[in-house]
Amino acid sequence: MPDHSIDEFLHRALNLAREGVGLASPNPYVGAVIVDPHGTVVGTSVYTYAGVKHAEVLALEQAGDKARAGTLYINLEPHSHQGRTPPCTDALIAAGIHRVVASMPDPNPKVSGRGFEKLRAAGVHVEVGQLEAEAHRLNESFGRYIRHHVPLVTLKSAMTLDGKIAPPAESELNRVAGIPVGGWITSEAARAHVQQQRHASDAILVGIGTILADDPLLTDRSGLPRRRPLLRVILDSRLRLPLESRVVQSAARETARKNDVLVFYSSAEERKKSELEARGIRAEHLPSASDGRPDIHAVLRRLGELEITSVMIEGGATVNATALASGIVDKVFLYYAPKILGAADSVPFAVGTSFRQLHEARQVKHLHLHRFGEDFAVEGYLRDPYGE
């Protein structure tokens, strides 16, 4: 079989895995392609959490006897341990798979490499590493979560070329609608992409300042299916969240009570907590940091306990600065519009005192640029999600 077919089949497996976005968390995105000895695809599948069975097992079921002596192409190492399902390696060996081509090992340090070892011990030829960078990016949130028990944190913001996220003042009409004075900063295409970003996230996080200023809904409006609702997380040290805010009203209207709004506070009256909980809001106390706000590291640990593998921060200047100064940010996704506000009292991307010298600036690495008409976005990493 020509070598170029390896890339072709692995790309197909990766594209299948992407179909699991919104459906597989807290487990990884996995796509599987089984090819018979003649080079014909005889089985394909994608993993979804609700479906229970893993992608390789579903592909084997589709292929039937045609899988014997065939090759499995998969973006992630087949698991060899007993979890919600029996080991996939056992199913592959029993089906007579001759060769497994995988892009990357399992990022879980407790099991990484064991699946490959078990397959090799059974006489299966194993190849690892092709399209590994692409596979890592696809499952970067799972990698961070499974290694460190906290979600991958993406700091997202939209701004002008001179780094302003809002003009000096906002009218009451625009504040209620969540629209900056004069319209949105970025284009409709860029804002549509933000919804895709939200869809790929388990949670969205803002500070109470954003709620009071913009009254946003903080929902996933991509229209794509998801297994569990987007968790809307609000940092609100004194529970100032207005009962008439759109996020509270939306939670109160949910007949099934999705419990998709979680407020972290550090000091508040029991009466206000009870009022919010009566409207379907989850309010949890966390220890405060030196500034009196809920400790951001405690927030991440709690989200990890809730099996949140990824969170996107869409806060204002204060939350942005706090997140960067605390060192919790793994990556940034910054949208820019070709506009200049210029006014000295326009709202900057971040307001804080942690970085006063150039040598203190956070370095963003592994940059990717995205275009949305005249707008563009910079995606980059402050930390390797697989690192320590």
Other CB atoms within 10 Å distance of the CB of residue 228: 16
113 and 191 in one domain? no
207 and 285 in a single domain? The answer is: yes
Domain assignment present for 357: yes
Do residues 128 and 263 both lie within one domain? Answer: no
Q: What is the extent of the structural domain holding 63?
A: 4-138
| Per-residue pLDDT at 169 exceeds 90 | no
Pair (128, 154) in one structural domain = no
| 101 lies in the same domain as 248 | no
Q: How far apart are CA 9 and CA 110, in angstroms?
A: 28
Same domain, 133 and 272: no
147 token code pair: 């290694």
Residue 2 pLDDT more than 80?
no
Known active-site residue 56 = yes
Residue with tokens 């045609």: 66
Task: Assess whether 197 and 302 both reside in one domain.
Answer: yes
Q: Quick one: pLDDT at residue 175?
A: 44
Q: Would the pLDDT of 32 be above 70? A: yes
Type of residue numbered 24: A
Residue that is last in its domain, among 83, 106, 138? 138
How many domains does the chain divide into?
A: 2
Output the pLDDT for position 386: 67
224 in any annotated domain: yes
Looking at the fold, whether 245 and 103 belong to one and the same domain comes out as no
- Residue 369 is assigned to a structural domain of this protein: yes
CATH of residue 85's domain is 3.40.140.10
- Mean pLDDT, to the nearest integer, of 255-282? 89
Is 331 contained in some domain?
Answer: yes
Pair 259, 363 in one domain: yes
CATH number at residue 369: 3.40.430.10
386 located within any domain: no
Catalytic residue among 56, 140, 170, 379: 56
Domain boundary among 138, 158, 191: 138
Query: Are 100 and 233 found together in one domain?
Result: no
DSSP string of 106-127?
-S-TTTTTHHHHHHHHTT-EEE
Q: Is residue 387 a part of any domain in this protein?
A: no
Q: pLDDT tens digit string along 289-348?
A: 877 788 999 999 999 999 999 999 998 898 999 999 999 999 999 999 999 988 888 888
Q: 24-50 as b/e, with b when 16 or more CB fall inside 10 Å? A: bbbbbbbbbbbbbeeeebbbbbbbbee
Q: Is 80 part of any domain? A: yes
At 191, which helix (H) or strand (E)?
helix 188-199
Tell me: do 97 and 154 sit in the same domain.
no
Among 80, 107, 138, give the residue marking a domain's end. 138
Q: For the segment 93-124, what is each residue's pLDDT rounded down to a tens digit?
A: 999 999 999 999 999 998 899 999 999 999 99
List the one residue out of 148, 183, 158, 198 whose CA is nearest residue 21.
198
Judge whether 104 and 128 are in contact, CB under 8 Å.
yes
Q: Verify that 94 and 241 share a domain, yes or no.
A: no
pTM assigned to the model: 0.91
Q: Nearest CA to 190 among 320, 22, 348, 334?
A: 334
pLDDT of residue 345: 84
Give dist(CA 108, CA 99) in Å, integer.
Answer: 23
**Average pLDDT for residues 15-37, to the nearest whole number?**
97
- Six token digits for residue 47: 């993993």
**Residue 143, domain member (yes or no):** no
